[in-house]
Amino acid sequence: MTTVTIERLGQQGDGIAPGPIFVPLALPGEVVSGILDGTHLTEPRIDTPSADRVSPPCLHFRSCGGCQMQHASDQLVADWKRDIVVMALKSVGLEADIRPTVTSSDRSRRRAVFAARRTKKGAMAGFHARKSDAIIPVPDCILVTPALLAGLKLSEDLALVGTSRKAELAVTVTDSLEGLDVAVTGGKPLDGPLRITLAALCEQYRLARLTWDDELIGMRVPPAQRMGKAQVVPPPGSFLQATEHGQMKLTDLVKEIVGPTKSVADLFAGCGTFALPLAESAEVHAVEGSSEMMHALDVGWRQAQGLKRVTTETRDLFRRPLLPDELSRFDAVVIDPPRAGAAAQIAELAVAQVPVIAHVSCNPQTFARDAETLCNAGYVLDWVQPVDQFRWSAHVELVGAFRLAHIAA
């Protein structure tokens, strides 16, 4: 037996003792005993629990890999996520006003990918177990919206009819304004009989839309999402902010940064999460790599009332970032890249000197790298707001407010 005292949490939520020794499900300040296996303490037993240790609120937490942090108080998780942002910025020599984390409530995740497969007796669906391919049924999951939970039984039925005994389905279920929007991958190739069976399931479960490996099986009603005053029908399985609360919070923060202005560029715009609300008061040019998402945004804008002009451009911003002479006509830029960040686009922004930049990020490390580039080019990072749409996970999202140093805050 080895006994250690946990000093801090790692990026994945493990407790870390001097060594470093990684201890799953342990919290700072706790004294833990277990069997040392390399740099990991296995079969840990908590000798002295932290005051921030709580009973996991979900029945499935012990086995399910969907959540990592239900053993910690909400305050500890919020502070830990804020600290990850502080440390990432510190690593590039930056300090800023880092606001307290805002967190989406339980039962608010409106999109999930359920794993489903056939079993000897029938089928099972749920999330993968921690560090394992085993599927854990999660009928009492408190992470996703109640509507999404109905997708579990559907996922089992899809596995029964659409997969072999060895394969596993990935069933992406999204809660839309009109019912569940379901996109399945990993199943049998479509043939006539399977198509008919799937269409019947689409009716039986009153799905808004069902797609199978990108092929549309049925759309009873377009699965719209609200984006400001507009409604958009995203392409099957495409990106959507994880909770409605998170989307609204991020949008408010982006609006706070952009302020009253005439012309905004929204880069990595998706289906218009920010472009469409911003178009209530400014003209917006939305740029995004997916032509289907740009089309969805354009249709949503055309059908909405009272918005200013929104133009769309399909463009690979890693290979062909907007150049300084293209950026110079904008008063503000919103940028919301994938986890890899946006090094090429940020380098052009640094030259272009657009007065205000709202940077939304799902990766504090790449955000810090981008922030360093901007601050070296004369920008000030006024504040950062961590936003936690991925409650009980190790995932951190944030919005950063940049302005050129000579422009008053």
Site string for ligand SAM, 274-313 (x = CB under 6 A): x-------------xxx--x--------------------
Binds ligand SAM by CB under 6 A, chosen from 14, 178, 181, 336: 336
Nearest distance, CB of residue 121 and ligand SAM, angstroms: 40
Beta strand 356-361 with 379-388 is unpaired
Binds ligand SAM by CB under 6 A, chosen from 10, 137, 186, 338: 338
Task: Give the span between the Cα atoms of 116 and 134, in whole angstroms.
Answer: 10
Nearest distance, CB of residue 297 and ligand SAM, angstroms: 10
By CB under 6 A, is residue 317 in contact with ligand SAM? Answer: yes
- Taking CB under 6 A as the binding criterion, the range among 57-65, 334-342, 350-358, 379-387 that sits at the site for ligand SAM is 334-342
Residue 8, burial from CB neighbour count under 10 angstroms (0-12, 13-18, 19+): middle
Task: Give the span between the Cα atoms of 361 and 86, in whole angstroms.
Answer: 14
Nearest distance, CB of residue 133 and ligand SAM, angstroms: 27
Nearest distance, CB of residue 350 and ligand SAM, angstroms: 18
Nearest distance, CB of residue 237 and ligand SAM, angstroms: 11
The angle at the Cα of 104, spanning 390 to 209, to the nearest 5 degrees, equals: 70
Shorter beta-carbon distance to ligand SAM: residue 163 or 231: 231
Site string for ligand SAM, 234-273 (x = CB under 6 A): -----x-x--------------------------xxx--x
Shorter beta-carbon distance to ligand SAM: residue 137 or 338: 338
Cα dist from 281 to 245, 275, 276, 287, 357, whole Å: 22, 11, 10, 19, 17
DSSP symbol at 54 = -
Shorter beta-carbon distance to ligand SAM: residue 129 or 343: 343
Site string for ligand SAM, 345-384 (x = CB under 6 A): -----------------x----------------------
The angle at the Cα of 381, spanning 378 to 384, to the nearest 5 degrees, equals: 165
DSSP 210-227: EEETTEEEEESS---EEE
Nearest distance, CB of residue 109 and ligand SAM, angstroms: 15
Nearest distance, CB of residue 288 and ligand SAM, angstroms: 5
By CB under 6 A, is residue 341 in contact with ligand SAM? Answer: no
Among candidate residues 332, 342, 212, 336, the one with its CA nearest the CA of residue 273: 336
Task: Give the span between the Cα atoms of 264 and 382, in whole angstroms.
Answer: 19
Task: Give the span between the Cα atoms of 76 and 90, in whole angstroms.
Answer: 20
Shorter beta-carbon distance to ligand SAM: residue 44 or 277: 277
Shorter beta-carbon distance to ligand SAM: residue 307 or 317: 317
Among candidate residues 329, 236, 323, 338, the one with its CA nearest the CA of residue 282: 329
By CB under 6 A, is residue 326 in contact with ligand SAM? Answer: no
Shorter beta-carbon distance to ligand SAM: residue 362 or 387: 362
Shorter beta-carbon distance to ligand SAM: residue 116 or 362: 362
Residues in the interface with ligand SAM (CB under 6 A) total: 18
Among candidate residues 81, 396, 362, 390, the one with its CA nearest the CA of residue 243: 390
Crossing angle of helices 343-352 and 364-376, in 10° steps, is: 20
Task: Give the span between the Cα atoms of 130 and 63, in whole angstroms.
Answer: 7
Nearest distance, CB of residue 400 and ligand SAM, angstroms: 14
Shorter beta-carbon distance to ligand SAM: residue 148 or 284: 284
Q: Which residue is nearest to ligand SAM (CB)?
A: 270
Q: Which residues does the annotation mark as catalytic?
A: 362
Tokens of 365: 């490390």
E strands along 100-219, which residues? 102-103, 111-118, 123-128, 135-137, 169-176, 179-185, 209-212, 215-219
Which residues of this chain interact with ligand SAM, rule CB under 6 A? 239, 241, 268-270, 273-274, 288-290, 293, 316-318, 336-338, 362
